Each structure stands twice: as C-alpha cells, then as structure tokens.
C-alpha cells in the first residue's frame, strides 16, 4: 500500500488526521485537496488547473490524498489508489468533533488553506453551510457510495475502534 485515498461520509470523520498518520507511517507525501481547491478568498481553483496539479501527484510512487473532489476530478484519485479508506463513522461520533473543530477554528481565528478562515455565517447558515453540507453528504454518500465504489479496493471503517485497528495494522 503506497497510494491511499482517504474519503469520508461527512466532515469531522477524521479524514485529515487519518491521512496525515498514514502518510507518516508509509513515508509518503500527504496531499490535502482542500488546500489545492480553496484559493484565497475561498475562490475555487478551476477544474483544469486542479487536474494539472493533481495528475503528477497521482502518477508518483506514493501518496496519501485527503479527499477526491470527484465533481472536479472524476475518478482520477480513486483509480490511482492502491486502497480507498472510507471513514463512515456514525453522526453521533463526527458531529461533536465537527462542532469542537469549528468552534476552535472560529474562536482562534485559525488560518486554513490560503489564508482562509471559517465564519459563523458560512458554518451555520444556508444550504451550503458546513453543517448543512455535512449532514446531507453523510446520508447521500452512505446511500450512493456502496454502488459507486464497487470494483475499487475500499476499506470502510465505521467505528473509531475500526479506525484504530486499521492504523495499527497498516502495512507500513
């Protein structure tokens, strides 16, 4: 296992944390796609530019990529992966994590990618709010991904204990 795509049913599942840990254990680069997608002022990178940035990474000898951005990249990341790690934790696990992380980021004016910061307005209000997106994606991905990921080497982790076991057993 040298090329790993880490995906999650919703924000707060631990995708970045697991991705960083795997990259360190495998001694391969860690790539957080959010950092490539969200430019200054939350302006999104055009799809063709993003693809040009990600293709050489996927073609390299090893990596752990946090996310897939299938709407922008298609199956580029998933097709290049030796394994797809799907973090599919229950809402009762990831929602408190998401609340704590968001509170920490907002309260500390934490800088995210390209000097972006979360605002309470973006987190709570509107159809595209962080929490609205997390809840809807959780149910949509659980419904759609089993079929969409059929044929790919997927490890679906549904509990924190399964995540810990996987990390402990990772072929590093």
Here the CATH number for the domain that contains residue 118 is 3.40.50.300
Instruction: Say which residue the tokens 């950092």 belong to.
Output: 35
* Per-residue confidence band for 18, with pLDDT thresholds at 50, 70 and 90: very high
Mean pLDDT computed over 121-136: 71
Asked if residue 147 is part of any domain, the answer here is yes
Asked if residue 118 is part of any domain, the answer here is yes
* Per-residue confidence band for 147, with pLDDT thresholds at 50, 70 and 90: very high
**Cα separations (Å) of 50 from 11, 63, 133?**
21, 17, 22
Asked if residue 24 is part of any domain, the answer here is yes
Whether 44 contacts 114, CB under 8 Å: no
Instruction: Give pTM, 2 decimals.
Output: 0.89
The range of the structural domain enclosing residue 20 comes to 3-167
The domain total for the chain is 1
Asked if residue 55 is part of any domain, the answer here is yes
Asked if residue 172 is part of any domain, the answer here is no
Asked if residue 63 is part of any domain, the answer here is yes
Instruction: Say which residue the tokens 């968001």 belong to.
Output: 102
Convert the pLDDT of each residue in 29-39 to its tens digit.
999 999 999 99
């Amino acid at each position: 296992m040298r090329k790993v795509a880490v995906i999650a049913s919703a924000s707060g599942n631990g995708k970045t944390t697991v991705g960083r840990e795997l990259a360190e254990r495998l001694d391969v680069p860690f790539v957080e796609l959010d950092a490539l997608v969200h430019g200054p002022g939350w302006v999104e990178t055009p799809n063709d530019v993003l693809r040009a940035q990600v293709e050489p990474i996927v073609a390299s000898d090893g990596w752990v990529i946090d996310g897939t951005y299938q709407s922008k990249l298609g199956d580029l990341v998933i097709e290049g992966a030796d394994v797809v790690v799907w973090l599919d934790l229950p809402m009762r696990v990831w929602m408190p994590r998401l609340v704590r992380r968001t509170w920490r980021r907002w309260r500390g004016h934490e800088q995210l990618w390209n000097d972006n910061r979360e605002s309470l307005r973006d987190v709570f209000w509107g159809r595209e709010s962080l929490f609205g997106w997390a809840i809807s994606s959780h149910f949509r991905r659980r419904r759609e991904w089993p079929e969409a990921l059929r044929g790919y080497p997927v490890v679906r982790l549904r509990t924190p204990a399964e995540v810990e076991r996987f990390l402990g057993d990772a072929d590093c």
